[in-house]
Structure 1
Amino acid sequence: MNAQGGPESRTALDPRLAWRPAGSRDLDAWADLIARTAAVERPVWFERRAELEQILGSKNNPAAENTVLGFDPQGFARAYARIMKNRDGAKAIGLGCVDPEWQESGIGTGLLAWAEQRTRERFAEDTASSADSGGPGTPAQVPKLRLYMEHQHQHQAALFDRAGFTVVRYFNEMHRPLGGTLPQTVLDPRFSLVTFGPELRESVRLAHNDVFRDHWGSEPRDDEAWGLVVDDPLARPDLSGVVLDQPTGTVAGYQLATHDADGAVVRGFREGYTELLGVRREFRGRGIAQALLADAMHRFAASGMDTASLDVDSENPTGALGLYLKMGYTVVNRSMAWDKDLEPAESPTDG
């Protein structure tokens, strides 16, 4: 496999830049490129060096095959893209950026073409790998590439639209000030609320896969994918809570939190962010989600934070948006998912 994808994607990459897969020697330049772009575009979240190190260690999505980084003649990183995909998953997700000084020059279009071609290859590889394993084989799927963007980044919207992507879902970023009185909730005595820790890592992963099995766009997380959440450099287990059903020891619900200290400097407030919140079906309607959110607010406030925040699918089937509004959250930003169905690759590329 050529790390820069098949002939179509290699041709699309702008010849003004020297392209190669991201490696450990590129960490500083890669992180600096993303930070420079973020300083201009001011996204809510962007990848930091420690997160890029995680990406380089991925077994499911090896950087040597699934990233591309472009350098100018002076050796500065000016653009990058990567895709990630679960084996046998229904979609690949693309990420990347172009240095603001090099935007509107066709580089982003070339990166999208690279991501599309690599997505086709990944789907073909997964189908072939499943067949080679001796099992029945995975039915061929239409390759799908998904991209995410924040509402204010209209230059990205124009690029995605020209490339044939379509908005398929909207998400709301919500904030809740932590000054003043915070909500108090009381759980049924059969439940206990404890702090998340390593001993709960696997049971909460299984609970999460159960909770989100019917949510739009969600796919089961294996241990590596779960590690991207719980081992994230911004993860704060001390601000995260788990509700246990005491008679059975089952995880009934969970709230996993993060805090970005560097982001607080840029955004002007300290934010406790609920990365994941879920309650198992058999335990819904018993105040568990409210208790977890209230607990999070108290933990955030005690840690000196100003704001509790989270993101929610605008069409969440559990009525989560209504719950968050009742608990004092308000919508402050919007983002969207864009999809494109791709023609399948003729066969896996083997270089």
Structure 2
Amino acid sequence: MTIARPNYPDTAGTGLHWRALTPADTAAWYGLVRRMAAVDQPPWSETREDLAEYLASAANDPELTTVAGFDSGGVLRAAGRVAANPGSAVAHTWGGVDPAWRRRGIGAAVYAWQRECQRRRFEAAGITGGVLRTHAEEQDQSHNALLAAAGAAVVRYFTEMTRPLAGPLPEPPLPPGFSFAVLDPEDSEPVRLAHNEAFADHWGSEPRDAQRWAFTVRHPQLKPEWSLSVVETATGETVAYQLASFDPEFRLRHGYDEGFTDLLGVRRAWRGRGLAAALLAEAMRRFKAAGMDHAGLGVDTENPSGALGLYTRLGYTPTTRSLAWEFPLT
């Protein structure tokens, strides 16, 4: 099915030339991300590998779902992207403007293009009730103001948390009948299936297919030796897991090294047995043994599973907060 691409953003007077991103633009896009991060100081920003994966997407053809503004010297000054899983009524955005080119209406124009782009995609797929979802750091006042002015609404809050690893660590035991298994990226299908089941009742989560999972477990920042699953001895089933990573540039922004739990899940039938606490405690021990100063993670503050309370009891404290905004498209 052919989807008509929206007109490029109307940014008359800025001197930007607009086109879609291509894989050849990965380095230029990463340069833009780095310039933005230097000013905005987000807790995390995309790696070069993340951007390359976006531009290799089959489900979200970059020719249709990206837009990029280059100045007269060929430098990328603004970019936007939309992505949605096949059949999903939720599309996600990424967008940004070079700090030296802000306050010219470029960001608002990119967001307007993203809305129209995804509106056409939903229409072509016969999807009604679709929304465009954007995450923004709470301290990024201009980003939040742009979304509010466009008519989007905040629908959820997420909190980053950290715990110093100096001193005694919590020691919740792994219950009898269970054992830890270190992640093998080449043989992690049971963990993928456990993740999809564990997150089936989590707000905003969608199943990860084999291709996306492969990128997750082979990501250059993922640390397999810190990533664990819990196996039930009697059945051999993978019933819980946590995946952890290390960003070598984290220290430049925060002044300390942190092992970060990216994903943590327990399948519903095995909840309430202390498996999540045991996983996090074991991860802390591994982080500390590797020289990390802190353990970190992120949490949906409205998660009904009680995750926020668990993390607080284990000594994690909030650091930054992000907002999930949604704009209804159909």
Whether the TM-score (by the shorter chain) exceeds 0.5 is: yes
Q: Which residue of 1 aligns with 2:273?
A: 286
Shift of 1:2: 8.8
* Matched residue, 1:349: none
- Once residues 125 and 246 of structure 1 are traced to their aligned partners in structure 2, the CA distance between those partners, rounded to angstroms, is 48
> What whole-Å deviation, never above 9, does each CA across 1:52-90 have from its counterpart, x for those lacking one?
111122222222221111100111110011111001112
Partner of 1:262: 249
Aligned AA (2:159): N
AA in 2 matched with 1:16: G
Q: CA deviation at 1:200?
A: 4.3
Q: Within 1, Cα distance between the matches of 2:212 and 2:128?
A: 22
TM-score, scaled to structure 1: 0.90
Contact kept? 1:204, 1:254, Cα under 8 Å: yes
SS of the residue corresponding to residue 308 of structure 1 reads strand
Distance 1:328 1:265, change over 3 A: same
Matched with 1:272 is: 259
Distance (Å, rounded) in 2 between the aligned partners of 1:93 and 1:119: 9
Aligned counterparts, 1:111-260, within 5 A: 111-127=110-126, 140-260=127-247
Q: Verify the 8 A CA contact 2:160 2:296 in the aligned structure 1.
A: yes
The alignment partner of 2:111 has SS state of helix
Unaligned runs of 5+ in 1: 128-139, 344-351
Q: 1:232: how far off?
A: 2.1
Using a 3 Å threshold, how does the CA distance of structure 1 residues 4 and 68 change in structure 2: closer, same or farther?
farther
Distance 1:4 1:121, change over 3 A: closer
SS in 2 for 1:12: coil
Pairing 1:318–2:305 present: yes
> For the Cα contact (< 8 Å) 1:23–1:64, is it kept in 2?
yes
Q: Does structure 2 conserve the Cα–Cα contact (< 8 Å) formed by 1:174 and 1:333?
A: yes
Pairwise CA distance, 1:294: 0.3
C-alpha distance 160-152 of structure 1, shift in aligned 2 (>3 A): same
Q: Structure 1 residues 203, 69: closer, same or farther in 2, change over 3 A?
A: same
SS in 1 for 2:134: strand
1:101 corresponds to: 100
Shift of 1:42: 0.4
Rounded to whole Å, the distance in 1 between the matches of 2:68 and 2:210 is 27
CA RMSD across the alignment: 1.7
Tell me, in whole angstroms, the C-alpha distance in 2 between the residues paired with 1:53 and 1:292: 32
Determine the structure 1 residue equivalent to 2:10.
12
Cα distance in structure 2, aligned partners of 1:90 and 1:244: 34
Conserved 8 A contact 1:3-1:66: no
Unaligned runs of 5+ in 2: none
Deviation at 1:265, TM superposition (A): 2.6
User: Is the Cα–Cα contact under 8 Å of residues 12 and 113 in structure 1 kept in the other structure?
Assistant: no
The aligned counterpart of 2:87 is: 88
Structure 1: distance between partners of 2:115 and 2:214: 26
Matches of 1:181 and 1:276 in 2, distance apart? 24
What amino acid is the match of 1:23?
A: T
Shift of 1:201: 1.7
Match of residue 321 from structure 2: 334
Shift of the alpha carbon at 1:337? 0.1
Q: Cα–Cα, structure 1 residues 228 and 166, in superposed 2: closer, same or farther, change >3 Å?
A: farther
2:69 aligns with 70
Q: Cα distance 1:228–1:341, how it changes in 2: closer, same or farther (>3 A)?
A: farther
* TM-score, length basis structure 2: 0.95
Distance (whole Å) between structure 1 residues aligned to residue 181 and residue 224 of structure 2: 11
Q: Could you tell me which residue of structure 2 aligns to residue 23 of structure 1? A: 22
Structure 2 CA distance for partners of 1:286 and 1:313, relative to 1, 3 Å: same
- The residue identity in structure 2 corresponding to 1:65 is L
Letter of the 2:6 counterpart: G
Partners of 1:4 and 1:33 in 2: how far apart? 27
**Equivalent AA in structure 2 for residue 320 of structure 1:** A
